Amino acid sequence: MIENLSAGYGAVSVFHDVSIEVTEGEFVALLGTNGNGKSTLLNCIMGFIKPTRGRIILEWDGKALDLTALPAHEIVRRGLSMVPEGRRLVPSLSVEDNLRLAGSNPVVRDRLSQNLEYCYQTFPLLRERKAQLAGTMSGGQQQLLAIARSLMGVPKIIVVDEPSVGLAPIVVSQVIEVIRTLQKDNNLTILMAEQSFLQAIDVASRAYVLAHGRIARNFDRSSGDIDHDDIRRALLGAA
């Protein structure tokens, strides 16, 4: 749960008083055009950027933990993982070495082989290409590797930042479907920031629209209020 969060860079404020609820096992989309603070918000959740106001609370198994002041490595230890915008793989390392690097976290290091095998079972293509340098893969293949890398830490929650960046529309649909399947099969909690809202709302149970640094609207599939025109207006800050 994110409560009244504000953050920025130096004197420049990026978003203000943002509140978002993501419940256990849920797929939530954070929608918005470029420059509205989606990536900054996800980086706050992961501890890479410290908010200027508000709280980030992890509620799991009936317990509540305040993550706001924790450093990034402690947040990862609590079961959060990230698929960053642009993938941020190590291009000069092989597929397997990228995965092993992610699995070196002391919390899960003793299960490295088991977690690696799980990733290969989930993504057979990566097993086939485990010796290939990550930098020589296609954009879609690199995105699959980035998703697999996030699983090496055995997360409860995965935040996904703009998985569509640099990919063809058909590949975007395939990647988002992979994320949805992982979420359903493993009861993962997903918060995905995405500017291509048509693909995102097809898989999300709820969606928030971040416009001009504030939550402009929120939509709930169970209430039947996910409407494309309403979302477009909200993305433009007109809602």
Q: 67-94 pLDDT, tens per residue? A: 999 999 899 988 999 999 988 999 999 9
Task: Give the span between the Cα atoms of 200 and 165, in whole angstroms.
Answer: 13
Delimit the domains of the chain by residue range. Answer: 1-79+156-239, 87-155
Residue of 24, 5, 25, 23 whose CA lies nearest to 15: 5
Percent of the chain topping pLDDT 90: 59
Task: Give the span between the Cα atoms of 223 and 161, in whole angstroms.
Answer: 26
Could you tell me the pLDDT band of residue 224, with boundaries at 50, 70 and 90? low
Could you tell me the pLDDT band of residue 237, with boundaries at 50, 70 and 90? low
What's the CATH number for 1-79+156-239? 3.40.50.300
- At 96, is the secondary structure helix, strand, or coil? helix
Percent of the chain topping pLDDT 70: 96
What pLDDT score does 71 carry? Answer: 93
Cα-Cα-Cα-Cα torsion 59, 65, 70, 71, nearest 10 degrees, comes to -50
